[in-house]
């Protein structure tokens, strides 16, 4: 589905990603963990095309898309749930979903409302009247409206209360069952570990750990060094 190979990404002269490689197989959930400022969003931006890598390659569904404009990648089946949600504040829930309509497939407004009944109840409300959790659901629903095959999610649980973190985890598990491939950026290790097939830890623009979630959960050294999780032993 997605193949990222030796990607180097810069902002001006700042060299942010130093040779990142990873892949996402069809139907797989792959999580990227790492502390603030380690390059997680830059990696997502490199994949979707807002910050194309200066070196390396991004392949999507068999095409080398490294130089493609973001809209072409979206047309081909990528969708982004951006960090900080970024819904259209002055549009209603319904309008936010409507403007994102695209592609062909199973996702339409009825199915998004079935996944998020709360959004159906609030269909006529302006997005800026929604709670943080509801805005996150709307951001996910909006991405689904384009009928993607690969969903890129950048810290979907940021700033959410524990109950809503679990709700986002439930939704990701349901999307995986529906067959979507997901590249998930998270700082919430338990949530990411509960839904991911594989995890990578990003530190200063490099992948410093790759493995199964259970192995990472058991690795006190990696958790304390790179994720700021206090050792319990």
Interface with ligand ATP by CB under 6 A: which residues?
11, 14, 16, 34, 36-42, 83
For Mg ion, the closer CB: 93 or 185: 185
16 contact, one of ligand ATP, Mg ion, none, CB 5-8 Å limit per kind: ligand ATP
- The nearer residue to ligand ATP, 5 or 83, going by C-beta atoms, is 83
**What distances in angstroms separate CA 157 from CA 81, 95, 205, one per listed residue?**
11, 23, 22
* 41 binds Mg ion, rule: CB under 5 A: yes
Q: What angle do CA 147, 179, 21 make, to 5 degrees?
A: 90
In the complex, least distance from residue 41 CB atom to ligand ATP, rounded to whole angstroms: 3
- Least distance (Å) between residue 173 CB and ligand ATP: 23
Q: Which of the listed partners (ligand ATP, Mg ion, none) does 49 bind, with a CB threshold of 5 to 8 Å by partner kind?
A: none
Q: Contact region for Mg ion (CB under 5 A) — 10-18, 63-71, 80-88, 109-117?
A: 80-88
Residue 36 interface partner, choices Mg ion, ligand ATP, none, CB cut-off 5-8 Å depending on type = ligand ATP
Distance in angstroms (rounded) separating the CA atoms of residues 62 and 52? 18
CA distance 115 to 60: 27
Q: Which is nearer to Mg ion, 23 or 158 (CB)?
A: 158
* Eight-state DSSP code of residue 129: G
| Residue range at the interface with Mg ion (CB under 5 A); choices 38-46, 70-78, 162-170, 207-215 | 38-46
Q: What one-character DSSP code corresponds to residue 206? A: E
Q: Please answer whether residues 4 and 40 qualify as being in contact, where contact means their C-beta atoms are separated by less than 8 angstroms.
A: no
Residue 84 CB, nearest approach to Mg ion (Å): 9
Q: Which among ligand ATP, Mg ion, none contacts residue 232 (Cβ within 5 to 8 A by kind)? A: none
C-beta separation of 189 from 33 below 8 A:
yes
- Closest CB 39 distance from ligand ATP, rounded Å: 4
**Least Cβ distance, residue 192 to ligand ATP (angstroms):** 13
Task: Decide: helix, strand or coil at residue 57.
Answer: strand
Q: Which is nearer to ligand ATP, 14 or 233 (CB)?
A: 14
Cβ(84)–Cβ(139) below 8 Å:
no
Q: What is the DSSP letter of 106?
A: S
59 to 25, 56, 67, 132, 231: CA distances (angstroms): 12, 10, 10, 33, 38
135 binds Mg ion, rule: CB under 5 A: no
Is the distance from CB of 96 to CB of 138 less than 8 angstroms? yes
Closest approach of Cβ 209 to ligand ATP, in Å? 15
Sign of CA dihedral 46, 50, 53, 58: positive
Contact residues for Mg ion (CB under 5 A)?
40-41, 83
């Amino acid at each position: 589905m997605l193949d990222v190979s030796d990607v180097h990404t810069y902002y001006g002269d700042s060299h942010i990603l130093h040779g990142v490689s990873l892949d996402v197989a069809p139907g797989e959930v792959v999580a990227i963990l790492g502390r603030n400022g380690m390059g997680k969003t830059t990696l997502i931006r490199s994949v979707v095309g807002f910050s194309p890598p200066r070196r390396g390659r991004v392949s999507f569904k068999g095409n080398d898309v490294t130089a493609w404009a973001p809209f072409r990648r979206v047309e081909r089946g990528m969708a982004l749930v951006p960090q900080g949600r970024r819904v259209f504040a002055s549009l209603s829930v319904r309008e936010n979903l409507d403007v994102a309509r695209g592609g062909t497939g199973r996702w339409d407004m009825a199915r998004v409302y079935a996944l998020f009944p709360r959004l159906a109840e609030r269909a006529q409300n302006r997005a800026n009247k929604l709670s943080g959790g509801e805005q996150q659901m709307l951001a996910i629903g909006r991405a689904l409206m384009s009928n993607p095959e690969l969903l890129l999610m950048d810290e979907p649980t940021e700033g959410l209360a524990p109950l809503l973190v679990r709700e986002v985890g439930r939704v990701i598990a349901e999307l995986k069952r529906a067959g979507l491939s997901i590249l998930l950026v998270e700082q919430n290790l338990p949530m990411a570990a509960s839904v991911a097939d594989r995890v990578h830890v990003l530190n200063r623009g490099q992948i410093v750990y790759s493995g199964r979630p259970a192995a990472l959960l058991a690795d006190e050294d990696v958790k304390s060094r790179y994720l700021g999780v206090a050792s319990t032993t």
